[in-house]
């Protein structure tokens, strides 16, 4: 018995040390590339080189003074916003239907909804480009439009929204929903006035996650955009092939800051809703 006690006391220490070491490794693995990119964006040289010999913010001025780069950023934001609206609307309604109604061939529909999430972006991008390449509405060509990219990005974003909202809807106290029906509230009114406020945290999270997914998506956008609608990741890739200037680092910092801003909004909204519940 006396020999077993030291081993029992050492085991938790070993696991704790390994957990701390692994956590530090993961945090460093995530943060180091971001910090290096941030540092490189202040490089005064004409090419990306490390270590930096002189510092300057000129590439930030260069980025925002370039119509090509600011237009690409604008395209990315507009497409990401449209994707967030489309995928969140479809994902919320889909998840609600799966939660509340009996659906024939439920498992088959579930697999079909989740299928695009597991498909390579090159397959989806090429497939959409071939299928809708010649489609036009009057004089408006669908191929190369922002709307086509929004719908394509929703193929990836909507399944994630669906999974998140399906889990969120399971946390609802459905006695409140039934009480609304008993008091004369119709299905539509109950859904918008009772259900949606109860799952607002999930909806806001879905919107921001879908926004981030679309903002950073590259492969499908490469197949589906033209010079007027190309997104920032596409322009970054095209520029990297010709000249690796610190302007690329500036674009990366802008994308990273947008992601951090979305995550901050999610956390603030979650804390706000948590405080409401605890009052």
What is the spatial distance between Cα 85 and Cα 92, in angstroms, rounded to a whole number? 11
- Among 84, 91, 216, CA closest to 159: 91
The β-bridge relationship of strands 140-141 and 136-137 is: antiparallel
pLDDT exceeding 90 applies to what percent of the chain?
Answer: 24
Query: How does pLDDT run across 226-242, given as a tens digit for each residue?
Result: 888 899 999 988 887 77
What is the spatial distance between Cα 74 and Cα 70, in angstroms, rounded to a whole number? 6
Query: How does pLDDT run across 153-185, given as a tens digit for each residue?
Result: 999 999 999 999 998 888 888 888 888 888 887
- Among 123, 77, 95, CA closest to 216: 77
Neighbours of 180 (CB within 10 A): 18
Contacts of 68 (CB under 8 A, 6+ apart): 235
What is the spatial distance between Cα 231 and Cα 146, in angstroms, rounded to a whole number? 10
Query: How does pLDDT run across 252-262, given as a tens digit for each residue?
Result: 889 888 888 88
Instruction: Indicate whether 10 pLDDT > 70.
Output: no
- Which of helix, strand or coil describes residue 140? strand
Query: How does pLDDT run across 90-105, given as a tens digit for each residue?
Result: 999 999 988 888 888 8
Alpha-helix runs per DSSP H in the chain: 4-40, 58-65, 67-100, 106-114, 121-132, 146-169, 174-182, 187-190, 196-198, 200-216, 219-224, 232-242, 247-278
Q: Using an 8 Å Cβ cutoff, are 157 and 214 in contact?
A: yes
Greatest mean pLDDT among 19-33, 41-55, 158-172 lies in: 158-172
pLDDT at 277: 63
pLDDT band at 190 (very low <50, low <70, confident <90, very high): confident
**What 8-state DSSP symbol labels residue 141?**
E
- Among 147, 159, 160, CA closest to 224: 147
pLDDT band at 74 (very low <50, low <70, confident <90, very high): very high
Q: Which secondary-structure segment (H or E) carries 136? A: strand 136-137
Stretch among 6-10, 32-36, 84-88 having the lowest mean pLDDT? 6-10
Neighbours of 150 (CB within 10 A): 22
């Amino acid at each position: 018995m006396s020999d077993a006690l030291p081993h029992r006391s050492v085991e938790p220490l070993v696991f704790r040390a390994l957990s701390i070491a692994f956590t530090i490794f993961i945090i460093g693995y995530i943060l180091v590339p971001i910090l290096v990119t941030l540092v490189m964006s202040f490089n005064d040289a004409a090419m990306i080189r490390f270590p930096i010999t002189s510092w300057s913010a000129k590439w930030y001025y260069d980025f925002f003074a370039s119509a090509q780069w600011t237009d690409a950023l604008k395209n990315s934001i507009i497409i990401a916003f449209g994707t967030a609206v489309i995928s969140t609307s479809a994902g919320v309604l889909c998840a609600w239907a799966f939660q509340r109604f009996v659906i024939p061939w439920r498992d088959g529909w579930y697999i079909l909804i989740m299928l695009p999430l597991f498909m390579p972006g090159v397959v989806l991008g090429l497939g959409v480009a071939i299928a809708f390449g010649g489609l036009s509405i009057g004089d408006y060509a669908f191929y190369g439009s922002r709307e086509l990219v929004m719908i394509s990005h929703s193929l990836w974003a909507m399944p994630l929204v669906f999974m998140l909202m399906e889990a969120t809807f399971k946390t609802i106290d459905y006695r409140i929903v039934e009480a609304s029906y008993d008091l004369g509230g119709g299905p539509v009114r109950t859904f918008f006035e009772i259900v949606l406020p109860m799952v607002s945290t999930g909806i806001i999270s879905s919107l921001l996650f879908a926004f981030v997914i679309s903002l950073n998506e590259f492969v499908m956008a490469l197949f589906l955009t033209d010079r007027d609608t190309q997104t920032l990741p596409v322009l970054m890739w095209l520029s990297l092939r010709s000249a690796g200037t610190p302007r690329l680092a500036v674009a990366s910092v802008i994308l990273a800051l947008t992601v951090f801003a979305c995550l901050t909004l999610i956390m603030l909204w979650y804390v706000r809703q948590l405080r409401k519940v605890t009052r």
